[in-house]
Amino acid sequence: MRHHDLVVIGAGTGNALIDDRFAHLDVAVVSAGPFGGTCLNAGCIPSKMLSVTAEVADGVRESGRHDVRASLAGISWPDVQERVFGRLDADAREGEKGRRASDFVTVYRGRARFTGERELAVETEDGTQELSADRIVVVAGGHPVVPPVVADAGLPYETSDTVMRLDAVPERLVVLGGGYIAAELAHVFHSAGSHVTVVEQRDSLLAEQDESIAQAFTDIVRSDYDLRLGRELTGVAGAPGDLRLTLDDDTVLRADTLLVAVGRRPNSDRLALDRAGITCDDDGLIEVDAHLRTSAPGVWALGDITAGPPLKHVANREAEVVAHNLLHPDDPRTMTYDVVPSAVFTRPQIAQVGLTERQAREQGRAYAVGSRRYEDVAYGWSLEDRQGFCKVLADRDTGLLLGAHVFGPQAATLIQPLVLAMTFGLTAREIAERPLWIHPALTEVVENALRDLDTAG
């Protein structure tokens, strides 16, 4: 059994955790998939590169509203694939190559499972390698959920792990799911030329967003997609390339491609965590304390396999905390999730931080709402945008921000001043009145939403 000072399971954020500060240790990185993890290979980065491509195409199609006479000849999907994955696959290979060249890191390519307390078996191409370590960090991520009605049908389907690498754009694409992954990929393929049908059990898309956002987004995409809301998939039949999808109202949809985007599940079920004494919750998420330690001595966990928000920027911060705690056990840092922003890179773009209005009501908060539309500010006129808006919620007594929601171009950027205000405890009045806001920048929609609040603070 090979012994290491430290073993990291996962080569996404887990690989990024290791830097030259660990050069005095004997470190191992274990990964079943390519280096870079989901974000680089099948998640955040390729989906955003494809989203920008779709945005460019959409801009050409809609150029007439700016009195520009332009026409779109089409999207060259093979060239897009080469540009996106030619770069990302090379990055993944270089990431692994760099680790293998390290003087203090050993790379094991294979699936790991615990066999005991801080003991592992790694199934590699050359057989089973047994490892032990003084300390272990579990950063093993997750995988797409596939409902039994799809999995048991024996017919082809795609998930977010595979659909972006299709050789050709589907002619008829059915998207099962209405969350952020479904929304982003539906936008990409609709823009590339697919006829898109979305099947979602809830009555709106992006139902976890603020109700104003969810309703506005659902209303806007009705003209682009065939929406089947409040519906459930009950049967999958037909043949590859000619699927027949039955819904619970007996409607039958025809499609050449089915994309399943109903959520993700942690990879904890593949690790035999019970043999190591690592406790999980009912959803299979590893339970950790504020220092990101598991119930097993000497074992930490972070990323999508834990109960924190499943976002790459959250995992990056968690990795910073764990790295510090491994190196400075007598001065540990804690991980907090008080202010966590997120964004959906669809059309329109969406960003949020903090409470939704529904959550504020359910918590019995005394809150005020401020809102401004893009078309209320000069740069919104420049964009000819009549859909976008910024909505902010603040405590009516203190003036402190409770939540913020932006819907429209540049939303993921516009949310950041509000993230900073919530992080540093600035009131809505302070953030609106103390800094100078550039005129006529789009940030004025944020400033004016803040000024629209009626609070005492």
Cis-peptide, bond into residue 440, ω within 30° of zero: yes
What residues pair up with 395 in beta bridges, in sequence order?
A: 367
Query: CA torsion sign, 110 to 112 to 115 to 117?
Result: positive
Q: CA nearest 324: which of 288, 294, 297, 300?
A: 300
d(CA 9, CA 334): 21
**Tokens 């039958």 sit on residue:** 252
d(CA 159, CA 173): 12
CB 131 within 8 A of CB 2: yes
Q: Can you read off the two tokens belonging to residue 191?
A: 């823009």
Annotated catalytic residue, options 24, 313, 328, 439: 439
439 catalytic? Reply is yes
Those residues whose C-beta lies under 8 Å from the C-beta of residue 97, and which sit 6 or more positions away, are: none
- Active-site positions read 439
